[in-house]
Chains A and B, each alone.
Chain A
Amino acid sequence: NAGVMQNPRHLVRRRGQEARLRCSPMKGHSHVYWYRQLPEEGLKFMVYLQKENIIDESGMPKERFSAEFPKEGPSILRIQQVVRGDSAAYFCASSPSGDTEAFFGQGTRLTVV
């Protein structure tokens, strides 16, 4: 059973471009969480999704950020018009249900130049 797969592992974008981060949860997991980790800091919750539904996006910046988890395919975290402050590691976690342990992917390290 493969773990949580995130791609790309590293992403470089110029200011103003769009960044698309993908997350394929573990097989059988229908709950996906996105977290952001700034250098030397802990992880901050961004958004919680189940298939085709956003359950909680209280940690998402109000502008430029969006997330989806379609019926088919990976979950996508999309950042439009990236700025230097978006540079961080973005981690996805999946869970078989919303009340058990969550397993993290290796993360996508976004660098905005």
Chain B
Amino acid sequence: QQQVKQSPQSLIVQKGGISIINCAYENTAFDYFPWYQQFPGKGPALLIAIRPDVSEKKEGRFTISFNKSAKQFSLHIMDSQPGDSATYFCAASMTNTGNQFYFGTGTSLTVIP
């Protein structure tokens, strides 16, 4: 079964707007939650990651919000730019058992100029 559920499947945002992608997980043993950005024909690139001991992490225009009790986390892209148009994947792992990632199904983001 899908261990990490991601929504929406696709997202269209105006330039300058906020893009929000949500993920939910079931396994409370997960302790590492990265987000990856993937352009067509390329490999996933690590964007930002969070561990469950913090509720928010910000790096530039990218912010992860983490709700441990709800078992949900989200990616916010502020001031979205056309260059942000890509597919975004959330993931979760258990670092004490090898850190294999369980990925969400991805969100295709299109930022309209």
Contacts and interface: CB of A to CB of B under 8 A. Distances in A.
A1 to B, nearest CB: 15
Contact of B95 (A33, A48, A99): A99
A111 interface: no
Q: Is the interface of B mostly helix, strand, loop or mixed?
A: mixed
Contacts of A55: 98
B100 interface: yes
A45 B96 contact: no
B94 to A, nearest CB: 9
A98 interface: yes
Contacts of A41: 105-106
Q: How large is the interface on B (under 10, 10 to 19, 20 to 34, 35 or more residues)?
A: 20 to 34
Given A42-B106, A43-B89, A98 B43 contact: no
18 contacts: A4-B43, A35-B103, A43-B44, A43-B89, A43-B101, A44-B103, A45-B100, A45-B102, A48-B98, A98-B98, A98-B99, A99-B32, A99-B96, A101-B34, A102-B46, A103-B46, A106-B42, A107-B43
Interface of A: 4, 6, 31, 33, 35, 41-45, 48, 55-56, 59, 91, 93, 95, 98-107
Interface of B: 6, 32, 34, 36, 42-46, 49, 89, 95-106
